[in-house]
């Protein structure tokens, strides 16, 4: 898959999500469905959005014992999504089980990427609550390497980390990066941000963009601005 812009469809119900996607009459955006929309609208919303011709990143961040994750991934694979994810903190055994569960009888499967340390976790919380005392950058890179060794396709990371992840894990290891803002836009609660053009420059494979598109006066124009900066 080439570089693409993924819109974070962070809506609380199916009606809002579908009304938002109705605006896109030309190029069909790659869509991220997260916990809020999935828990509110269920697997049906995934099928509906897929049937409209969108690619889907199902962002449910699984983390449980290997057998449970394997079975859950099997169900998600049947939904015919394009990318799924899990927490690398579930360890190698869980990641390998997830890959097994995702792989269909014909050998195909959705891409599987890992969340490393959440960007909401800082050094202090990691040391105090998780008893992990290494520098957080080193922890993120270690999780990326562990995910790569388990056979995963990439990680979710800050665009600021994408270059380093590629040097460590290879150019083919996907970096999917939220925290993207237009140069003249609001940052909101994102602290370390990059523009789509900077994310392209540093080597992100996919940018995940939510509010700069969903809250724009003209979402299609904002989406196309991302596409023009990032993909071309
Ligand atoms: O609206 P905004 O562009 O900030 O949306 C970014 C999306 O990426 C949200 O769905 C958010 O949950 C997700 N995300 C993030 N940072 C991470 C992981 C996921 O912003 N580290």
Neighbouring CB atoms inside 10 A of 117's CB total 21
Instruction: Please choose from 8, 85, 115, 188 the residue to mutate so as to test ligand 1's pocket, defined by most ligand atoms within 8 A of CB.
Output: 8
> Coil, helix or strand for 31?
strand
Active site members: 61
Ligand 1 first shell, C-beta below 6 A? 8, 10, 34, 118-119, 156, 178-179, 188, 190, 208-212
**For residues 46-51, average pLDDT:** 98
Say if CB 96 and CB 78 are below 8 A apart: no
Q: How far, in Å, from the CA of 105 to the mean position of ligand 1? A: 33
Whether pLDDT at 1 is above 80: no
Q: Return mean pLDDT, the chain.
A: 95
Q: Is the pLDDT of residue 90 over 60?
A: yes
pLDDT in tens, 115-130: 998 888 899 999 999 9
Q: What is the CATH number of the domain that holds 92?
A: 3.20.20.70
Q: In the chain, pLDDT over 90 holds for what percent of residues?
A: 91
Q: Is the pLDDT of residue 232 over 80?
A: no
Burial code (b: 16+ CB inside 10 Å, e: under 16) for 124-162 equals eebeeeeebeeebeebbbebbbbbbebebbbbbbbbbbb
Torsion (CA) 190, 124, 63, 110 in degrees, nearest 10: 40
Contacts (Cβ under 8 Å, ≥6 apart) of 155:
88, 113, 114, 115, 116, 143, 144, 147, 165, 173, 174, 175, 176
- Identify the residue whose C-alpha is closest to ligand 1 atom 4: 210
- Total domains, the chain: 1
107 CA to centre of ligand 1 in angstroms: 31
CA-CA-CA-CA torsion sign (186, 190, 194, 196): negative
Query: 24 lies in which domain range?
Result: 4-230
- This prediction's pTM: 0.95
């Amino acid at each position: 898959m080439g570089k693409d812009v993924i819109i974070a469809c962070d809506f609380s119900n199916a009606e809002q999500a579908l009304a938002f996607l109705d605006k896109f009459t030309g190029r069909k955006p790659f869509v991220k469905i997260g916990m809020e929309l999935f828990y509110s609208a269920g697997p049906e919303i995934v099928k509906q959005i897929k049937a409209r011709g969108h690619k889907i990143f199902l962002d449910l961040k699984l983390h449980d014992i290997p057998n449970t994750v394997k079975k859950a991934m099997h169900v998600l694979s049947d939904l015919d999504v394009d990318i799924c994810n899990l927490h690398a903190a579930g360890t190698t055994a869980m990641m390998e089980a997830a890959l097994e569960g995702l792989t269909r009888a014909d050998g195909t499967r959705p891409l599987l990427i890992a969340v490393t340390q959440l960007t909401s976790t800082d050094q202090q919380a990691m040391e105090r609550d998780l008893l992990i005392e290494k520098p957080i950058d080193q922890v993120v890179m270690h999780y990326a390497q562990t995910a790569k060794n388990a056979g995963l396709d990439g990680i979710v990371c800050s665009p600021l980390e994408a270059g380093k992840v590629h040097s460590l894990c290879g150019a083919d290891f996907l970096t999917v990066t939220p925290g993207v803002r237009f140069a003249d836009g609001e940052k909101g609660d994102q602290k370390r941000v990059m523009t789509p053009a900077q994310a392209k420059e540093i080597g992100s494979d996919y940018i995940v963009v939510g509010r700069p598109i969903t809250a724009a006066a003209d979402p299609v124009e904002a989406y196309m601005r991302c596409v023009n900066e990032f993909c071309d």
